[in-house]
Chains A and B, each alone.
Chain A
Amino acid sequence: MLKKLVGGILFTTFTFSQTTVNPQFSVIGDLVMDHLHKDPSLLTSGIEIAVQGYVNPFARADIYLHKHNDDSPIELEEAVMTIERGLPFGLGLRAGKFRPDLGKINQSHAHLFPFIEVPAGMAKILGEEFWSATGVETNVFLPLPWYSNFSLGYFDSGISSHDYSDYEKDEDDHDHENDHKDKDDHNHDDEKDHGREKQTNAFSIRWSHFFELNNVNHLELGLSGYSGKAEQILGADFKYKWRPNKYRSLTLQAEVLQHSLEDEYMEKAVHPDEKLTVAYAMVNFQFNKAYNFGVLIDYWSLGLADDEGMNPSIFFGFSPVEESAVLRLKIGQLERENDEKNHKKYLKTTIQIIWSLGPHKPHRY
């Protein structure tokens, strides 16, 4: 029902948009290699196509398509209409398929991460490609002296309908050619499971704050919540940025999510009171126009099962020509599960080359 309604809204807006100014097209291409692969198959490499434009003075439409570098079909990452001005009571609205306002990292596109890949802990809850769902979300500024935004969303598919198998496969044999095949298989599963997916309607809420401490210091704080079919997530996030001039900045960012599991996690039985806690903390220093360097700590734990993992990594970025091409390097610890509670640790080096055409860029200062 919701899908139909939202689809209808999108359809009308997109046909309407043809009568106005042309939308903007952007393409972001990336190439990722890591040394653990004997054959440097190009992992998550692929392209993202963004089409963005104003539908009318008050509504914007953003469509993101992703094509992996394999035989898999083009995926629709997001197709969302955003209304920021024009609704009563200063309400904002998003409708379509998009990344809900849950936590900080779920909303950002992976090519903006200075640390190349999704932090593994976060992926355990949000999925490798993060939570994107079809639904509607409304938000409002609270009448406070600082920027304080409250959002509430309703979606037709919850996080648990996310693809964990992908992730598990990744951990098990780390063979990405299989990985993509697996993804194809999963698409069929999706259709089969459609009934189940429909049941897992989900709500998300977020309350975020932004403080401009002074011209060069900014602080962001957020609290998030999620409620799906008999599962809950609570989250808190923090970002501090010091930016004394055009090209220098220091960013500290941390986020924690806690997932109350039902009785099963990644197809294994767990205690009904089990909670999965995941977190990351990042420091990123942009020391001049072209270079940045940082540290990421990635964490997860299953409280009752007394199982946890923590993986540090360092990363480095180089963008020679403004924001249009970025080279990133990450050296980090990687854990793989050998058997129950036995994590083998590896060192993994990952290189990413990312480029863009058009206004949607891989990197923001």
Chain B
Amino acid sequence: MRTLIIIMSMISFLFGKVRIVTSTTDIADIAKIIGGDHVTVTSIARGNQDPHYVEILPSYMLKVRKADIYFMVGMELDLWAQQIIDGSRNRKVLIVDCSVGINKMEVPTGQIDASMGDIHRFGNPHYWLDPENGKLIARMVAEKLINHDSKNADQYQANLTQFEKDLDSAISIWTKRFSNLKDKDIIFYHNSWPYFSKRFGLKTVDFLEPKPMITPSPSKLNQVIQKIKSDGIEVIASESYFSDRAPKFIASKTKVKTVKLAQSVGAIESADSYINLFETNLTILAKAYGVSYD
């Protein structure tokens, strides 16, 4: 009898939760914070995976099959999500594009085609790398959760308020502690960082990719080497999923330091939450430039 009650309560516990699936770990972490005990959250992409290309595995469809809400990054970053959602057969799932309220950067004007590389035609989709945008994601998540599960609305609202407060104080601390990063020249592997750089004042001078999603060519690498030598650029930062070969090659020819940054929660061990994502990346950069950050 007792076991039955335990089983029953476990079932009601599991079934009472809002089942959330997200495309990436960043939105997943925010959803966990806002949803608390009332949600289960699964991310399709892992933190160290390239979010532009996710191989669609049938097992992902199974994860979405019983989901209540699916949160996408949007702006065509996670086009693969649509195929997973379709394949899930879940006709009740609410699909939410988290990019809706974002102030989008680098929206191309004029004709775009494949000669420009894999350009993001709705603008640069790596918006979660500005912690201010984390607040917008959190508001979107809270709004959808409140609509879906109104009996826990107060809890979601309280979690949102707390998260915004935590993030605000973290942002003001980061901007002070890492003020030495301001106006530092940096070369990135892929253009994932315009929102991040704008927030923390870094100056992006080049990319290793000659065009978005195109592997660095020997001529591009030579060009970067020349630029590093002439302009004294100190750091090349790459997303965790890229191979080290191109940055290491450049480092062997110049005095540049190469670092790997966490483009998403979980990409690097210490970046284990949305707030730690910034803490980790900023610390890595401060160390690479040899500037103080206390």
Seen from chain A, the residues whose Cβ lies within 8 Å of a Cβ on chain B are: 58, 60, 84-87, 90-92, 141, 146-147, 149, 210-212, 215, 218, 220, 243, 245-247, 288-290, 321-322, 324, 357, 364-365
Q: Would you call B89 and A215 a contact (CB within 8 A)?
A: no
Q: Which of B46, B62, B90, B214 has a CB less than 8 Å from the CB of A147?
A: B62
CB–CB B114/A86 < 8 A: no
How far is B246's CA from A289's CA once the two chains are assembled, in angstroms? 13
Contact (Cβ within 8 A) A322 B118: yes
**With A247-B243, A289-B215 known to touch, is A85 a contact of B89 (CB < 8 Å)?**
yes
| Majority-rule SS of B interface residues | loop
A215 to B118, CA, bound (A): 26
Q: How large is the interface on B (under 10, 10 to 19, 20 to 34, 35 or more residues)?
A: 20 to 34
Roughly how many angstroms separate A357 CA and B89 CA in the complex, as a whole number? 30
Known pairs A212-B59, A215-B46, A243-B55; A141 contacts B89 (CB<8 A): yes
Q: How far is the CB of B293 from chain A (nearest CB, A)?
A: 31
Spot the interface stretch: B22-30, B80-88, B120-128. Answer: B80-88
Q: Assess A246 versus B53: contact at CB under 8 Å? Given A84-B89, A86-B91.
A: yes
Q: Which residue of B lies closest to A139 (CB)?
A: B89
Residues of B within 8 A of A210 (CB): 57-59
Structural contact, B53 and A58, CB atoms closer than 8 A: no
CA distance A61 to B62 in the complex (A): 23
On chain A, the residues within 8 Å of B118 by CB distance are 322
- Nearest A residue to B90, CB-CB: A85
Nearest-Cβ distance from residue B245 to partner chain A, whole angstroms: 9
- Most A-side CB within 10 Å, residue of B58, B91, B215: B58
Quick one: which of B65, B86, B89, B214 contacts A322, CB cutoff 8 A?
A: B214
Most buried by B among A86, A210, A290, A357: A210
- Residues of B within 8 Å of A243, CB to CB, are 55
B residues with a Cβ closer than 8 A to A are: 46, 49-50, 53, 55, 57-59, 61-62, 65, 85-91, 114, 118, 213-215, 241-243
Give chain B nearest CB distance to A185 CB in angstroms: 40
Is A85 in contact with B85, judged by CB distance below 8 angstroms? yes
In terms of DSSP, what is the predominant structure of the interface of chain A?
A: loop
User: In the bound complex, do residue B89 and residue A91 qualify as a contact, i.e. CB atoms below 8 Å apart?
Assistant: yes
Q: Most chain-B CB neighbours within 10 Å: which of A58, A212, A220?
A: A212
In this complex, the member of B62, B65, B90, B118 whose beta carbon has the largest number of chain A beta carbons within 10 angstroms is B62
Query: With the chains together, A58 CA to B89 CA distance in Å?
Result: 9
- In Å, the complex CA distance between A256 and B290 comes to 61
Give chain B residues whose Cβ lies under 8 Å from the Cβ of A324: 114
* Subset of 26 A-B contacts with CB under 8 Å: A58-B91, A84-B87, A84-B89, A85-B85, A85-B90, A85-B91, A86-B91, A87-B89, A90-B89, A92-B89, A141-B65, A147-B59, A149-B58, A210-B57, A210-B58, A210-B59, A212-B59, A218-B57, A247-B243, A289-B215, A322-B118, A322-B214, A324-B114, A357-B114, A364-B55, A365-B53
Min CB distance A210 to B, Å, is 4
Chain B residues contacting A60 (CB-CB under 8 Å) are: 86
Q: Once the chains bind, are A321 and B214 in contact (CB under 8 Å)? A: yes
With a cutoff of 8 Å between Cβ atoms, the chain A residues found around residue B61 in the complex are: 147
Please tell me if the beta carbons of A85 and B88 are within 8 angstroms of each other in the complex.
yes
Q: Which residues of A contact B213 (CB under 8 A)?
A: 322
Query: Could you tell me the distance between the alpha carbons of A55 and B50 in the complex, rounded to whole angstroms?
Result: 30
Tell me the bound Cα distance from A322 to B214 in angstroms: 7
Q: Roughly how many angstroms separate A84 CA and B89 CA in the complex, as a whole number?
A: 5
C-alpha gap A200/B61 in the complex (Å): 35
Task: Provide the bound-state CA to CA distance between A149 and B87, in Å.
Answer: 11
The docked-state distance in angstroms from the alpha carbon of A324 to that of B53 is: 14
Asked if B91 contacts A365 (CB within 8 A), the reply is no
B48 — nearest CB in chain A belongs to which residue? A245
Complex formed: what's the CA distance from A117 to B28 in Å?
Answer: 43
Q: For residue B53, which residues in chain A have a CB less than 8 angstroms away from its CB?
A: 246, 365
The smallest C-beta distance from A363 to any residue of chain B, in angstroms, reads 12
Closest-CB distance, B192 to chain A (whole angstroms): 14
Question: Given the complex, which residues of B lie within 8 Å of A149, measured CB to CB?
Answer: 58
**B50: which A residues are within 8 A, CB to CB?**
246
Contact A365–B86 (Cβ < 8 Å): no
Residues of B within 8 A of A92 (CB): 89
Expressed in whole angstroms, the Cα–Cα distance for A146 and B86 within the complex equals 18
Q: Is the CB of B58 within 8 A of A365?
A: no
Given the interface pairs A86-B91, A322-B214, the reply to whether A147 lies near B58 with Cβ below 8 Å is: yes
B86→A85 contact, CB < 8 A: yes
Within the complex, the shortest CB–CB distance from B49 to chain A, in Å, comes to 8
Given pairs A58-B91, A215-B46, A322-B215, 19 additional interface contacts (CB within 8 A)? A84-B87, A84-B89, A85-B91, A90-B65, A90-B90, A146-B59, A146-B62, A147-B58, A147-B62, A210-B57, A212-B59, A218-B57, A243-B55, A246-B242, A321-B215, A324-B114, A357-B114, A365-B53, A365-B55
Complex: chain B residue closest to A211, CB-CB:
B59
Q: Shortest CB–CB separation between residue B225 and chain A, in angstroms?
A: 21
The 8 A-B pairs of least Cβ separation, nearest first, read A210-B58, A212-B59, A90-B89, A147-B58, A84-B86, A85-B91, A147-B62, A86-B91
